Amino acid sequence: MRAIVYDKKAQPFRLVERDLPIPEPMRGELRVRVLAASVNAADWRSMKLGIIPRSRVFGADVCGIVDSIGLGVRGWKAGDAVVGDLSNYGFGGFAEFACASAEAFVGKPEGLGALDACAVPLAAVTALQALRLGGSPGAGADVLVVGASGGVGSFAVQLAKLSGARVTAVTSGGNANAVMALGADRVIDYAGDGFARADDRFDLVLAVHGNASIGTYRRLLKPRGTCVVVGGSLRQVFAALLLGPLLSRGGRKHRALSARSNAADLSHVLDLAAAGTVVSPIERVYAFNEIPQAMDYAQRGHAKGKLVIDYKEA
């Protein structure tokens, strides 16, 4: 089978197409013929940090067809259309066939195309879990999404609006119209750190992207508000991990999210996508052999929404 394999000597992207044996599903696993996949920060960050899958094949989000079923697996049959998040199961989605625990997969809703479906798993579930960690703000709550035009941020804006919150989105000026189309009530251009000087205070700050200090986020919170750091620079993430507990002893809370694969959450967001309640914000569609270029573009940090891979394209 064709696969995009990590090779630290491969130039310029350290990723190269190779022919690998088709994997056999182990007990409790499904083998899926992949139709489409998408690129996530979990892919390129892991590569950048030297955290390489045992198979040397990245790829967390997949949509495909069940091809073979391992021992002990019930409830699935060959030919079932599935969507999976493999980020907690060794990755492996950037190949024509992927094996992972059956727990990584859920059924693809009818009417939802493969490209739209594969854009959902890691980004939308992360956004959902971030909102939940932040107290599930409801009607009338004020939510600030920093990094609102990327994959997680785009879904965070939509899910927060769906709950009835008032959403202020931080992104570049060039992305303002796209983010407003997702439902944001207001957009702040991050240029010049404009959001840090905002006079508003928020019930929830979602730090999806960026490099602001924890003090900046703390100042933006209402007296009983919560900041959830989802991603961004390593400085931002480590500050939330190290200082968050110390700064959470009063009314304001600081949390760092460690998103986890969750079949119930994945089914929920896929159903929303199938109903058109949320949309998969796809910026670019790549062919299978363009996965290295897609990974390179993603790690530059300027992707608007999701980058997806159509395996039917040469």
Q: pLDDT by residue (tens digit) across 37-90?
A: 999 999 998 998 899 999 999 999 999 999 999 999 999 999 999 999 999 999
Of the two residues 239 and 184, the one the predictor is more confident about is 184
Is residue 195 predicted with pLDDT exceeding 90? Answer: no
Domain borders along the chain are 2-119+280-310, 123-256
Alpha-carbon distance of 173 to 52, in angstroms, equals 35
Is residue 314 predicted with pLDDT exceeding 60? Answer: no
Give the CATH superfamily of 2-119+280-310.
Medium-chain alcohol dehydrogenases, catalytic domain (3.90.180.10)
Q: Give me the pLDDT at residue 40, please.
A: 94
Q: Give me the pLDDT at residue 206, please.
A: 96
| Residue 18: burial class (beta carbons within 10 Å; 0-12, 13-18, 19+) | middle
Based on C-alpha coordinates, what's the Rg of the chain?
A: 19
Give me the amino acid identity at 149: S
Alpha-carbon distance of 237 to 197, in angstroms, equals 21
List of residues 6+ apart from 262 with CB closer than 8 A: 125, 129
Q: pLDDT by residue (tens digit) across 249-307?
A: 778 888 888 889 999 999 999 999 999 999 999 999 999 999 999 999 998 877 888 99
Q: Give me the pLDDT at residue 228, please.
A: 94
123-256 maps to which CATH number?
3.40.50.720
Both structure tokens of 7:
């090779």
Mean pLDDT of the chain: 92
What is the mean pLDDT of the segment spanning 11-31?
96
Of the two residues 190 and 264, the one the predictor is more confident about is 264
Is residue 174 predicted with pLDDT exceeding 90? Answer: no
- Work out the percent of the chain whose per-residue pLDDT is above 70: 93
Alpha-carbon distance of 146 to 156, in angstroms, equals 10
Q: List the 142-146 sheet strands across, edge first.
A: 186-189, 166-171, 142-146, 202-207, 221-229, 253-256
What is the mean pLDDT of the segment spanning 108-126?
97
Q: pLDDT by residue (tens digit) across 196-221?
A: 666 789 999 999 988 888 888 888 99
**What pTM was estimated for this model as a whole?**
0.93
